[in-house]
């Protein structure tokens, strides 16, 4: 019984620490290039740990995401987001941009029709800033 309780406590601790430190910046930056807008997001993601020490430490690494879109104001549907030709998914949902505020609500939709849609980790609200 003590082993089960101890195992449960350890798993709870590891599970709670798994999301520690992973977050998106509250600012997004955009540029205009070749008749499209490039929106750049940055954030931190949790390391994929293969040992208990890394899990407990909660190490993160910096990362970024680029969305290439046709406009920088209004509603941008997922299918309007320009993605590399080799993707096996498309975006569904939308990006809303009004008065330098941006809200992302997107999911990945895979072309195989077997993989379920799942939310993009960059979903959320941002302040949009023109990059110099």
The 3-state secondary structure of the chain reads CHHHHHHHHHHHHHHHHCCCCCEEEEEEEEEEECCEEEEEEEEEEECCCCCHHHHHHCCEEEEEEEEEECCCCEEEEHHHCECCCCCCEEEEEEEEEECCEEEEEEEEEECCCCCCCEECCCCEEEEEEECC
pLDDT of residue 4: 53
Considering only residues 132 and 47, tell me which one the structure prediction assigns the higher pLDDT.
132
Domain locations in the chain? Answer: 2-130
46-64 tens-digit pLDDT:
776 665 666 666 677 888 9
Q: What are 52's two structure tokens? A: 């208990």
Reported as a single tens digit per residue, the pLDDT across 99-128 is 999 999 999 988 888 888 889 999 999 999
pLDDT value of position 20 = 52
Residue 68 has pLDDT above 80, yes or no: yes
Quick one: average pLDDT of 87-110? 93
- Say how far apart CA 96 and CA 6 lie, in whole Å: 47
């Amino acid at each position: 019984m003590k082993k089960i309780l101890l195992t449960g406590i350890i798993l709870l601790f590891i599970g709670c620490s798994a999301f520690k430190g992973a977050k998106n910046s509250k600012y997004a930056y955009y540029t205009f290039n070749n008749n499209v807008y490039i929106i750049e997001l940055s954030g931190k993601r949790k390391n994929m740990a293969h040992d208990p020490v890394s899990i407990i430490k909660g190490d993160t690494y910096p990362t970024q995401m680029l969305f290439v879109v046709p406009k920088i104001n209004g509603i941008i549907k997922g299918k309007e987001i320009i993605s590399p030709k080799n993707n096996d998914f498309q975006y569904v949902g939308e990006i809303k941009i009004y008065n330098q505020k941006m809200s992302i609500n997107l999911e990945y939709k895979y072309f195989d029709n077997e993989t379920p849609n799942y939310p993009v980790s960059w979903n959320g609200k941002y302040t949009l800033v023109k990059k110099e």
